Chains A and B, each alone.
Chain A
């Protein structure tokens, strides 16, 4: 399977703990995106990378959130001092440059903060 993969698929943590999620994009895709989706809502943009450069961050991305894409391949999203409001599905997507920005999504990581 050469699609976007995410790990873990599910994460349960206690409030105040740190969590890290990983995304592996489709191999030839130079753009990588993170979104957050809560129940009954559409995905909301968090941040995106072109190769290893983080080019845009949403105001939703508080200072407790940090994302990296160190070698322009996989990416990690870390949430520090988790809060119950962070409970959501975290989606990763990738695309090829400006090709109509058709983004391919991974299965998501479902985070539950107790």
Chain B
């Protein structure tokens, strides 16, 4: 079936460090891929998306590239800030996966100054 697997957290980094959160997916067809973020005490927010192979989504210094050959959508940021501390969710939908979002379990990022 369709699924999303994220690296387990928590991820603990110092400010200005490089961030990678791995995400791989299993899906039939050509789904769209998303990263959502949940800041403490807030609701889920869309961070970035990519709708076809080789697309790069980017927002707020975060980037992720839709890699069909490796079925991956890894999230990266060159220099994290304390304000990036949050839970990050990788998700897919569309194609033969249907309209619902299928989420990974989430990765908690904690950035210290």
User: Which of chain B's residues have a CB closer than 8 A to the CB of A44?
Assistant: 103
- B-side binding surface: helix, strand, loop or mixed? strand
CB distance from B71 to the nearest CB of A (A): 18
Determine the interface band of chain A, counting residues with CB < 8 A from chain B: 20 to 34
Interface contacts (Cβ under 8 Å), in number, total 58
Residues of chain B lying within 8 A (CB to CB) of residue A102: 34, 46, 49
Chain A residues close to B by CB (< 8 Å): 31, 33, 35, 40-45, 48, 55-56, 58, 91, 93, 100-108
Provide a sorted-by-A list of 16 A–B residue pairs whose CB atoms are within 8 angstroms: A40-B105, A41-B105, A42-B4, A42-B89, A42-B91, A43-B101, A48-B100, A55-B99, A91-B44, A93-B44, A100-B32, A100-B51, A100-B94, A102-B34, A103-B93, A107-B43
